[in-house]
Amino acid sequence: MPPSVIRSFRFVGRLLAATAGVVALVAVFLALIVATDGAGSGFAAWSATLGIAVVAALWRGRRRTWRGRLVPFLPVFVAAALTLSVCVPTAPTTRRYPSALPFVTTEHWGLSTGSRVAVYRYPPTSNSPRHRVPLVYLNGGPVRGISVLDHHFLQRLAGEGYDVYTYEQAGGGRSDLLPMDQYSITRSVRDLGAFVDRLGKGRVDVLGFSAGAAVLTRALADPAIAAHLHRAVIAEPGPMDGPTARIAGQKGRPSARGIAPAMTGPRSTHVPRYAVAFGLMRLGLLSPDNGLVGQAEGDNAFTAADLGSDTASGYCAQDAHRIPVEDTARNFSFSAAASLRVQQTVKDSASIARQLRRSRTPAMLMIAECSSQVRQWETTVLADDPAIRRTQYMPGVGHHMWNGLSDNDQRAAAVITAFLQDKPAPLPNYPTRADIPTFLRDHK
């Protein structure tokens, strides 16, 4: 074999060995990140990995010339640089709150629970009869700012004569952060009760959407809070308790997930630090209160594009190529860590079915045709809450039922206002409790 070929083989072999060394050191680093829960912004894992790598390089070069002893250090330097990028913040580490919205005033209310939340009000704006009962909106998330799309829908409801109040749940949007161990579904329910008390207008109607609908469902099962609720609209609820959260059921008609164009814009998950942090948290390998990326930094870093196909899953497949922009970059806010913490407390919670069966607050359930929610999350609420007076199955819409497309906002508002005013429903009362088995069997 010619010497040039032999040299080429040797070079390739050394290159592969060096690459394998880099991969092995990165794997050790990630394992140590998990083992230390990201302590010291990842520097504890980085220092230990570097120490292991240096010792290994010295051992490999112990019988070589001084120049040969430097060769094993090449993968060490490469791996050290790669892993160091996971330890160095590129987003501010103190919370940068979204700037004020130009069309509504932001107030901050301190609640009796200790939460300090951002509050928005849309007073009645039309000549329509004004409704004496205020309407409170609970957005989804769980710990997320209220999107501009949702704000526009609340303006529509104010145009129907409602005095609309909403607040961003603790840690979301412009609301103050909580210590990570204080986020829980129980705290969210207590905050709702404290908000209604602070509002001081007697009983209120509440519209809860997605994670906000789960908070509302649990509030209906708490007699002390339910006593202050006039009517409840449960729209596309998430799981209400641990047993429900563990149901691996079916979903609605096909959504736009996987077929909609990819979201544009910057992604924090393209930065090694946040890709590692958010990825390991999602896998359950890092705690929400980890030492790698603090809550404030994670909130600052996370972008709308990071949600990826989650946004598309809120729309029907036929709307895949006309999904609206739900929010602006300046208003968008999502706390991945706090949301995972709240979701985990739901999974860990006991059944509330017995308490919910004692509910007497008139309620309505809204279900989207192309829902990305597990159907049993919705039908369990229907089965267990005897005070649900009607169900409205919304055709032609996905999880985000009011979305600015076609007449979707108008149809959603008509359903909500008809129930709050105790008027005939625009749609059939479907599914009823008796319909649940066939509803699930027919994959509606």
Sorted by sequence, the CB contacts under 8 Å of residue 394 that are 6+ apart come out as 366, 367, 368, 369, 401, 411, 412, 415, 427
How many C-alpha atoms does 319 have within 13 Å on its Cβ side? 26
pLDDT of residue 16: 61
Sorted by sequence, the CB contacts under 8 Å of residue 274 that are 6+ apart come out as 90, 91, 268, 293, 298, 301, 302
Q: Could you give the domains of the chain? A: 3-87 (no CATH), 107-441 (3.40.50.1820)
Task: Give residue-wise pLDDT tens across range 268-300.
Answer: 989 999 999 999 999 999 999 999 999 999 999
| 107-110/135-138 β-pairing | unpaired
Task: Give residue-wise pLDDT tens across range 148-175.
Answer: 999 999 999 999 999 999 999 999 999 9
Mean pLDDT of 139-148: 96
Q: Which residue has the tokens 């999974």?
A: 347
Task: Give residue-wise pLDDT tens across range 60-115.
Answer: 666 665 565 666 677 778 888 899 999 999 999 999 999 999 999 999 999 999 99
Which pTM value belongs to this model?
A: 0.92
pLDDT of residue 210: 97
pLDDT of residue 442: 85
pLDDT of residue 109: 98
